[in-house]
Structure 1
Amino acid sequence: MDEKSLHMLEFPKILERLAGYAAFSASAELAHALRPSTDFDEVARRQACTREARHLLSRHAEISVGGARDVRPLVTRAARAGVLLGHELLEIKTTLESARDLARFFERRGQEFPHLAAIAARMAPPPGLIEAISRAVSERGEVLDSASPRLASLRSEIKIAHERLLGRLNAIMNDPKVAPWLQESLITLRNDRYVLPLKAEGKGHLRGIVHDQSASGATLFIEPLAVVDLNNAWHELQLAARDEERRILAALSAQVGAQAEAITTLVEALAEFDLALMCAKYADDLRAAEPVVLPFRPASPAHPGSTLRLYQARHPLIDPARVVPIDVVLDDKTYAVVITGPNTGGKTVSLKTVGLLVLMAQAGLHIPAQSGSTLSLFANVFADIGDEQSIEQSLSTFSAHITNIVRILKQTTPQALVLLDELGAGTDPQEGSALARAILAHLVALPVTCLVATHYPELKAFAHATPGVVNASVEFDLQTLQPTYHLTIGLPGRSNALAIAERLGLPPSIVAAAREMLNPADLRAEDLLEEIHRQRDLAQRARAEAEQARAEAEALRQELARQLERIEEERQAILRQAAEHAEAELAALRAEIERLRRELARARLPLEAIKRVAETVEALGEQAEKALSPAVAPTTPPERPELGERVRIRSLGLEGTVVAQGDEDVEVQLGNLRLRTGLHDIQRAGVTETPPSPPPATPRRRKTAPASATPSPTLIAPSPGLELDLRGQRADDALTALERHLEAAYLAGLPFVRIIHGKGTGRLRQAIREALGQNPYVATWERGLEGEGGDGVTIARLKSEAT
């Protein structure tokens, strides 16, 4: 990629923000070194890593590289026979442990996160190194006694020697002949030797070696001769222990150096994994979506074969509260855009937005745009944007721009993207306009995908008359004299120079005189353009009002649907309670009859009277059970038919063949119609059965199958509910569940289904919406409102009986 253009488009600022999410320096270096790729497989791999990382963080927010450090300099030093200190070995151990934990985590999740698992496969630490460092170095970076038997022995001897030394000094300090001459009763250190503070005038009362004296000279710090040998023995043991510690650290460093290549590979894998997490976190904060990156289509003289469709694209470096989304959607015949309008910055922002999003997509980053945005894989991106005046090279702004454009024209190819801001500006308007048209004509003839911003009206006519080129404009609010930053493809921009001058207070007579000097044809064109913009603004306002009304109606429809669903649930609950109550009363009555029968039998009285009462109770019980049976689930599991067996569907009174089985239902082939129904609605063919009496409640709505599934018998089916939650499911499983739910909802007569798929990476949402567009039961679908879950929810409207 062209480095000069990367800086013009501010791509390094994107990398700087990305590096802010780094967990350690190695991944921050990778972020700063990240560049857009021109290899399709590499771009696809990067995008997949970002997608999997977003999915991973949505389910395991705690996942990270832990306490990993960039230990490659330490490993290099160890490989060159250098000796690492305890805390440096501890950094290596912590890094190896982080890599080991991640490798174990992905061993069990390789199918769910294949690209991240491939990175984690390179994280396996060298065998035995973690354990060796753990045995020798503590969590504070100190060498442990357990590092070697000799070190443990030496430290034990040091402790004994230290105790003997202090004991002897305490005895001298408490000697009546010495105690009066001590400045104070304490033992202190000087030059790593234990000494006593002796008054200067008592020097002859304690024989020893003077190691220091106080600033005033009143105190001498003396090592008594009686402890010199003990001090020496203590020091010798300390030196021996230090040498043993160094030997242990050297041995561990040699182990690290022997595994330098493996540890370096491990650190690089950790950095690559952390970079994927960084891309995911940055995407979540940008509310970004995964772009669809496509290779170029076969080129023709009339089109380079590029694709550019950005929906609701936002500049990633502008405050999200202020940024205005734009749509840049080119049809299959268009590859060049001429953006016109007043000099207010809106055109430059549009160019930078397109350029930055292309670079981000090819670098493996998700882009701040709506799901479904599609881009070609460009071989290079060239930009000429901003003030390029160079005092050092004695170049004016015009000269600097032309120099850069000459460089771009030499290097560009049909598979490049070219972005030119204020083409031809900075010189005589007539010559600048001609030069701009010539440069644009050259790019169109190559052909090259390009976006050009200009204020020359001649380029509007060129775009209108040239195949493959389209006009676009950035809107300007004449009331506030501020740009709206809305980009409109298909309409050229208005100059607004006279209107702006009038709003700013220029005398009307001067404005009128300027208007008279204009070409009447230009005035008519401007007036016509003004009317087109005015009519479009009216249409947009009307559309916004209609959309608001539709949203309010939809909210009311959903509230009514929720109320109906609650009423249905309450009705079913009441029926269940009634059934339970009736069953309890019948059981109690039967028990009472049985008790009376036993008493009459004991009394040897006739049982005729009690028998008639029992028969009446049984009859009432059977009637109650028949009346309440539709609301009460069977207590015994139904018999499961075999595949290929002929069965009868009770609710339809039709016979068919079992072609598929589920846990609680079966699929039956009825002529050309395949119907899925519950096991309780199935009866073996040839077995007669009296159908149950219908419940004394409002019958369910009837629905017929779609026209494509003829013949279409009238079906009566239970409601599967208005909501289907598919979050966390794999795409294949989710689409299977979606198909079953839509079929059941259609047969139950539901008006719509609310499908919850979450926002995540957008893959599941995209798959669901593609399936909805092909489903025979679905009339239309739309994203949820902000109060319903926004883009994490899709509302599928089912076909009515009339359709």
Structure 2
Amino acid sequence: MQQKVLSSLEFHKVKEKVMSYTASTLGKERAQDLTPLTDIETIQHLLEEVAEAQDVIRLKGSAPFGGLTDIRRAVKRAEIGSTLSPSELMEIAGLLYAVKNMKHFLTSMYEDGVDIPRLHTYAETLILLPDIRKEIESCIGDNGEVLDHATPALRTIRTQLRSLESKVRDKLEAMIRSQSASKMLSDTIVTIRNDRFVIPVKQEYRSNYGGIVHDQSSSGATLFIEPQVVVDVNNTLQQTRLKEKQEVEKILQMLTESVSEHIGELLHNVKELQTLDFIFAKAKYAKTEKATKPAVNDQGEIYLKRARHPLLPRDQVVANDIELGKDFSTIVITGPNTGGKTVTLKTLGLLTLMTQAGLHIPVEEGSEVAVFDQVFADIGDEQSIEQSLSTFSSHMVNIVDILKNLTSNSLVLFDELGAGTDPAEGAALAMSILDEVHQTNARVIATTHYPELKAYGYNREGVTNASVEFDIETLSPTYRLLIGVPGRSNAFEISKRLGLPDHLIDRAKADMHAEHNEVDQMIASLEDSKKQAEEELHETEVYRKEAEKLHKELQRQILEWNEQKDKLLEEAELKAKEKIEQASKEAEEIIQELRSIKSEHRSFKEHELIDARKRLEEAVPEFDRKKKPEPAKKAVRQLKSGDEVKVLTFGQKGTLLEQTGDKEWSVQMGILKMKVKEKDMEFIKSAPEFKQEKAITAVKGKDYHVSLELDLRGERYENALSRVEKYLDDAVLAGYPRVSIIHGKGTGALRKGVQELLKQHRSVKNARFGEQGEGGSGVTIVELK
């Protein structure tokens, strides 16, 4: 993309916002390099990464980036043989700690079933290197100091150091506590000069202590002397400190060599964590802006649903629907200045660039963005003082460059096309330029205040007019984009409301061409029609949502009824089983008793046979049978269409539509219509005594004959899936709680296609293969919502 296009659309401000959400300088560096791409697969992958990161943030709040620092310079120093400092080594250990935390964090989420395959791939590639981290942490403390236990030799040396320092201090403190010390010393303290212990002696008592003078005060009155009695011990102390320094250097060199053996792995970890930091920064930005993931295509089709400019305050910006590339490839936005035309232009351009850079955009779900090879923009007043070019000339230079480089897969944005010159010539030139760009099949949005361009959208195929709504009552723009409606100046209406006398306005109208007045009247009519259509659409949407709510409630009640029925059947089966077992036991006892009589060669007495028969009869299980509901008493009056009744089977109220048979009526219950016998109805009240203006529209209900199973065997793949969708809709309307789809086993392609469709269908609650008695894997049992 051209840098001047990115600048005029203010893409750099979006990058700055993303940078503010990074957790490290590495992430900021990556955000600074953010640029739009042109490969659609790469863009889709980047958008999916951000969507996964948003899921992580939603579930966990954030990802662990503690310890992430830029160690690349330290690693390069290790690679060329330089010894790393303790702080550099601790930064490397901190990075490996961040690697460990991030790998565990993402892996555990993925294993817990969170769908983040792309982020999990990054986690899999992270290299832990636990030995190096432990080695560094065992030798260097949190404050960057080499620890005593780093090596046995260092422990011994530091023990000697502490012993010698204690010895020197003891001798010097004995000296400053003597009776003469207060007289000869400036202060009774032991201090250090040039890494040696000294005491502050007054100038006149220098000879009393001997030894070596290391420093003096600014006035010269005090000398910092190392007394002769501690010179030898201080010398030994210095030699021991030198040994300590050499041992520390040896330890640091050893750790540096360990690091240098894993240069590639460390740099790889830096790159992966930098990418993850950048991905999560984009996700945090998307969350703040309430942005969503758009679909992308390479067909040049754009549909932005309630799009907002990301750099304007959310509580002030007006969201607009913007559509381009399907029914028309060119939009000409006409109307007066300060109406919001340029904001619309910039919104489309900037959201396109953001999408191609892998960012989610501030639109509602269901939006789609095309991927372009180039985005061109001629926006703003760009006078070139250096080249002594006027506004018009500056725009023409830019437009000439656009015409040289544009292709059929370009997005072109013209702001105030043809402005800055004679209106007649400017309008003619604007139409000529639009014709040239339109012929290349590029996607174009142009703004203009020339009235001549209003007719352009009507005379060209694939071109449409648009305008930004203006409220005459408040004399201010509403910033709502109206596609298909050209703009008008509203000069007469505005002047009238501001107090200009009517006779002046009438005189001006009389001077206008009749054609212009007709066009303005047509535009006003279009605006009114569009507003009325939007209001009706909103009203229809309200009705649709109410119908869906009623449908879902009825489905829920039917499901509850089926569940209750299944539960009662299960309880009845259990009771029957218990009674049958009890009866079998009784019968077995009677049979044993008869056999006993037979084995004793006794003859059966009549009373014994009667008693045995009675006991066998009593052993037969008896079941409590609920009485069926008695048919409702016939109403005294004759039922007629429009009467309100109660359907006893469902306990729901309904309205009689028409008689469908002998003592059978079609009843409307909510959004369902079904046939019900008169005996299963209870009269509530008569129909209102007025003529029904609208016929009740019925939908397919329980009277619609839908089979409980759908057989797809022998069907072509596409036809089969189409039949499944229609069948599921019919089954839902028929109120079925579950159905069967027979697809056979075969190659498995149809079975797999059906399973994928069922997973995404809004009305499917659960789907499983049939059991042994239901057809096995050749049948899918579907439970409907």
TM-score normalised over the length of structure 2: 0.71
Instruction: Work out which of the residue numbers 165, 168, 192 in structure 2 matches 1:189.
Output: 192
1:89 matched to 2:92? The reply is no
Moved more, 45-54 or 110-119: 110-119
Which residue, out of 244, 252, 263, partners 2:255?
252
Whether the aligned pair in 2 keeps the contact of 1:79 and 1:260 (CA below 8 Å) is yes
Letter in 2 for 1:52: E
Instruction: Specify the alignment match of 1:372 in structure 2.
Output: 366
Shift of 1:536: 2.5
User: Which residue is equivalent to 1:684?
Assistant: none
Query: Does 223-232 or 203-212 show the bigger shift?
Result: 203-212
Residue-by-residue CA offset, 1:433-454 (whole Å, 9 max, x unaligned): 0000000000111221111111
Note closer, same or farther for the CA distance 1:216–1:740 as it changes in structure 2 (3 Å cut). farther
Aligned to 1:445: 439
3-state SS of the aligned residue for 1:128?
Answer: helix
Q: Does 1:403 align with 2:406?
A: no
The one of 256, 279, 283 aligned to 1:280: 283
Aligned to 1:223: 226
Query: Alignment partner of 1:151: what SS?
Result: helix
Kindly indicate whether the alpha-carbon contact (under 8 Å) linking 2:307 and 2:347 is maintained by their aligned counterparts in 1. Answer: yes
Amino acid at match of 1:71: I
What pairs up with 1:290-369 in 2 under 5 angstroms? 290-296=293-299, 306-330=300-324, 332-369=326-363
Cα distance in 2 between the residues matched to 1:324 and 1:560: 39
Which digits, 9 at most, give the CA deviation of each residue in 1:744-774, with x for residues without a partner? 9777679xxxxxxxxxxxxxxxx99x96999
- Look up the match of 1:134: 137
* Equivalences for residues 630-669 of structure 1 within 5 A: none
State the SS of the aligned residue for 1:344: coil
1:413 CA displacement: 0.6
Counterpart of 1:508 in structure 2 is 502
Aligned match of 2:246: 243
Structure 2 residue identity aligned to 1:56: V
Do 1:703 and 1:746's aligned partners in 2 also have CA atoms closer than 8 Å?
no
Deviation of the 1:265 alpha carbon: 2.4
Structure 2 SS opposite 1:38: coil
Note if 1:436 corresponds to 2:430. Answer: yes
Report the Cα distance in structure 1 between the residues aligned to 2:333 and 2:626, rounded to whole angstroms.
73
Larger Rg, first or second structure (1 or 2) = 2
Unaligned stretches of 5+ residues in structure 2: 572-614, 628-681, 683-700, 712-724, 738-752, 765-783
Could you tell me whether the CA contact under 8 Å between 2:309 and 2:347 is conserved in 1? yes
**Which residue is 2:581 aligned to?**
none
* 1:332 positional shift: 3.3
Measure the CA separation in 2 of the matches of 1:10 and 1:327: 21
AA matched with 1:515: K
The one-letter code of the counterpart of 1:94 is G
Aligned to 2:20: 20
1:294 partner amino acid: N
User: Are residue 471 (structure 1) and residue 493 (structure 2) matched?
Assistant: no
**Aligned: 1:157 with 2:151:** no
Map 1:658-697 to 2 at 5 A.
Answer: none
Q: Which amino acid aligns with 1:434?
A: A
TM-aligned CA deviation for residue 503 of structure 1: 2.9
| Identity %, equivalent residues | 39
Q: Give per-residue Cα distances to partners, 1:474-509, cap 9 Å, x unaligned.
A: 111112222212112222122212222333343433
Conservation of the 8 A alpha-carbon contact between 1:50 and 1:280 = yes
Residues 48 and 776 of structure 1, relative CA distance in 2, 3 Å threshold: closer
Give the secondary structure class of the aligned counterpart of 1:310. Answer: strand
Task: Specify the alignment match of 2:43 in structure 1.
Answer: 43
Residue of structure 2 in register with 1:674 after alignment: none
- 1:184 to 1:10, Cα distance in 2 relative to 1, 3 A: closer
Contact 1:386-1:421 within 8 A present in 2 as well? yes
Contact between 1:103 and 1:120, CA under 8 Å: does it hold in 2?
yes
Counterpart of 2:461, as a letter, is P
Deviation for aligned residue 1:548: 5.3
State the secondary structure of the residue aligned to 1:195. Answer: strand
Map Cα deviations across residues 351-398 of structure 1 (whole Å, 9 max, x no partner).
111111111111111122222222222111111111111222211111
**Partner in structure 2 of residue 720 of structure 1:** none
- What SS is found at the alignment partner of 2:145? coil
Paired residue secondary structure (1:31) = helix
Once the two structures are TM-superposed, the CA of residue 162 in structure 1 deviates from its matched residue by 1.2
Asked if the contact 1:743/1:777 (under 8 Å) is kept, the reply is no
CA contact (8 A) 2:309 2:343 kept: yes
User: SS where residue 21 of structure 1 aligns?
Assistant: coil
CA displacement, residues 58-95 of structure 1 (integer Å, 9 cap, x when unaligned) = 33333233220111122223323333221221111111
Structure 1: which amino acid aligns with 2:473? Q
Cα distance change, pair 118–570 in 1 and its aligned pair in 2 (3 A): closer
Q: Which moved more, 1:402-411 or 1:121-130?
A: 121-130
Which residue of the partner structure matches residue 209 of structure 1? 212
Q: What corresponds to 1:481 in structure 2?
A: 475
Residue 73 (structure 1) aligns with: 73
Give, in whole Å, the separation in 2 of the partners of 1:494 and 1:177: 105
Aligned-partner residue type, residue 455 of structure 1:
H
Q: Aligned-pair distance for 1:176?
A: 4.3
Which deviates the most, 285-294 or 536-545? 536-545
Helix, strand or coil at the partner of 1:27: helix
After superposition, what is the alpha-carbon deviation per residue over 1:677-697, rounded to whole angstroms, capped at 9, x for unaligned? Answer: xxxxxxxxxxxxxxxxxxxxx
Matched, 1:391 2:380: no
Mind listing any 5+ residue stretches in structure 1 that lack a counterpart?
A: 297-305, 578-613, 629-697, 712-737, 751-766, 779-797
Write the deviation string for residues 572-616 of structure 1: whole angstroms up to 9, x where unpaired. 999999xxxxxxxxxxxxxxxxxxxxxxxxxxxxxxxxxxxx99x
Which residue matches 1:758? Answer: none
SS in structure 2 opposite 1:76?
Answer: helix
Query: Given the superposition, is the C-alpha separation of residues 198 and 131 from structure 1 closer, same or farther in structure 2, using an over 3 Å criterion?
Result: same
Q: Given that residues 193 and 223 in structure 1 are in contact (C-alpha distance below 8 angstroms), is that contact kept between their aligned partners in structure 2?
A: yes
CA contact (8 A) 2:558 2:735 kept: no
Measured in 1, the distance between the counterparts of 2:488 and 2:38 equals 38
Matched with 2:118 is 115
Shift of 1:192: 2.8
The secondary structure found in structure 2 opposite 1:288 is: coil
In 1, distance between residues paired with 2:492 and 2:514? 15
User: Residues 703 and 748 of structure 1 are in contact (CA less than 8 Å); yes or no, is this contact kept in structure 2?
Assistant: no
Distance 1:78 1:107 in 2: 31
Q: Is the 8 A contact 2:304 2:322 kept in 1?
A: yes
Residue type at the aligned position of 1:162: E
In the aligned structure 2, how far is the partner of 1:560 from the partner of 1:744? Answer: 14
Letter in 2 for 1:167: D
Asked if structure 1 preserves the Cα contact closer than 8 Å seen for 2:325 and 2:443, the reply is no
- Amino acid of the structure 1 residue aligned with 2:14: I
Tell me if 1:525 matches 2:519: yes
Q: How many angstroms apart in 2 are the aligned matches of 1:373 and 1:330?
A: 12
Match for residue 678 of structure 1? Answer: none
1:600 maps to what in 2? none
Q: SS of 2:226's equivalent?
A: strand
Using the TM superposition, give the Cα deviation of residue 404 of structure 1 relative to its aligned residue in structure 2, in angstroms: 0.5
Pair 1:548–1:747, CA change in 2 (3 A): closer
Amino acid at match of 2:155: A
Structure 1 residue 5, shift from structure 2 partner: 0.9
- The aligned residue for residue 264 of structure 1 is 267
Which residue in the other structure is 1:7 paired with?
7
- Deviation of 1:119 after TM superposition, in Å, equals 2.8
Q: C-alpha distance in 1, partners of 2:145/2:411?
A: 58
The answer on 1:540 being equivalent to 2:534 is: yes
Deviation at 1:533, TM superposition (A): 1.1
